């Protein structure tokens, strides 16, 4: 039977080494997860500036004018032959305008009178689209458990890191300063910015100025983003002119 005193002494002597060993191994496991979540987090954080999932392109072409009396099939063939986009999923023709759409998001617009063709297409940002799909965990039950495990790994890395080094480079001096700085940054930002409730404070009836209520014109309908584009930039609502 093991001597409890000896076992306690062994633990007291080696616990920091075990802590570092486990910290090291979990750190190796977390590298792949961290790259995915960190890079996709940066991409999503700037969603107002770019589309993190797709790269959009636009090109213009010039062909011979398309007569209005030409059949729809022949007119579409002329446009697709010039654009090189293949058979469209949907065709719209009104007057001299021909509009072709594809499930991939590509749209081709041709003006028959002038022969001007505009091809708007998009291609996947391969890594970012996959990383964003994993990061934005919607409707992926199995990945939810994987993400939870990764969160626990991060907690261990953060907490174990506090005790890996002893002395003045640990919590006694340097570690305490850096720990306080890391905690102070988000707290300071919340205090200075007003937090999530900023601008939502209510005013009493006596202090709120009385203004004439005017009916706002209805917003124009907006086509929602494609279902597969989980990070499309939010559409801008345009107001219809008041009657």
Report which of residues 214 and 239 the model is more confident about.
Answer: 214
pLDDT, greater one: 124 or 171: 124
pLDDT per position as a tens digit, 89-148: 999 999 899 999 999 889 999 999 999 999 999 888 889 999 999 998 877 889 999 999
CB contact at 8 A, 130 and 38: no
Euclidean distance between CA atoms 202 and 114, whole angstroms: 57
Q: Please, where are the H alpha helices in the chain?
A: 4-45, 72-83, 126-135, 141-161, 174-193
Q: pLDDT at position 229, please?
A: 52
pTM, rounded to two decimals: 0.63
Residue 207: per-residue pLDDT: 46
Q: What percent of the chain has pLDDT over 90?
A: 50
Span 184-237, pLDDT tens digits: 999 999 999 988 888 665 444 444 455 555 545 444 444 445 545 555 544 444
Q: What distances in angstroms separate CA 15 from CA 5, 153, 163, 167, 173, one per listed residue? A: 15, 19, 10, 16, 21
HEC string for 112-142: CCCCEEEEEEEEECHHHHHHHHHHCCCCCHH
- Beta sheet of 116-124, edge-to-edge order: 54-62, 116-124, 107-111, 97-101, 90-94
Kind and range of the H or E element at 61? strand 54-62
More confident residue, 166 or 160: 160
Domain borders along the chain are 4-50+127-164, 54-124
Q: Name the DSSP class of 209.
A: P
């Amino acid at each position: 039977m093991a001597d409890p005193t000896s076992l306690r002494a062994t633990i007291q002597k080696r616990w920091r080494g075990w802590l570092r060993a486990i910290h090291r191994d979990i750190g190796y496991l977390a590298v792949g997860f961290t790259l995915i979540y960190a890079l996709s987090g940066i991409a999503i954080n700037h969603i107002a500036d770019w589309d993190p999932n797709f790269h959009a392109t636009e090109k213009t072409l010039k062909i011979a004018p398309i007569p209005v009396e030409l059949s729809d099939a022949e007119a579409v063939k002329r446009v697709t032959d010039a654009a090189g986009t293949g058979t469209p999923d949907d065709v719209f023709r009104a007057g001299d305008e021909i509009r072709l759409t594809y499930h991939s998001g590509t749209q081709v617009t041709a003006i028959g009178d002038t022969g001007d063709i505009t091809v708007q297409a998009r291609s996947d940002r391969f890594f970012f689209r996959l990383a964003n799909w994993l990061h934005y965990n919607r409707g992926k039950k199995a990945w939810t458990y994987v993400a939870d495990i990764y969160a626990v790994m991060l907690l261990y890395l953060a907490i174990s890191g506090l005790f890996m080094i002893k002395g003045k480079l640990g919590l006694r001096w340097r570690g305490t300063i850096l720990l306080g700085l890391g905690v102070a940054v988000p707290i300071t930002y919340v205090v200075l910015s007003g937090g999530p409730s900023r601008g939502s404070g209510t005013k009493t009836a006596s202090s709120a100025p009385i203004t004439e209520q005017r009916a706002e014109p209805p917003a124009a309908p907006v086509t929602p983003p494609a279902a597969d584009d989980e990070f499309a930039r939010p559409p801008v609502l345009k107001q219809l002119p008041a009657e």
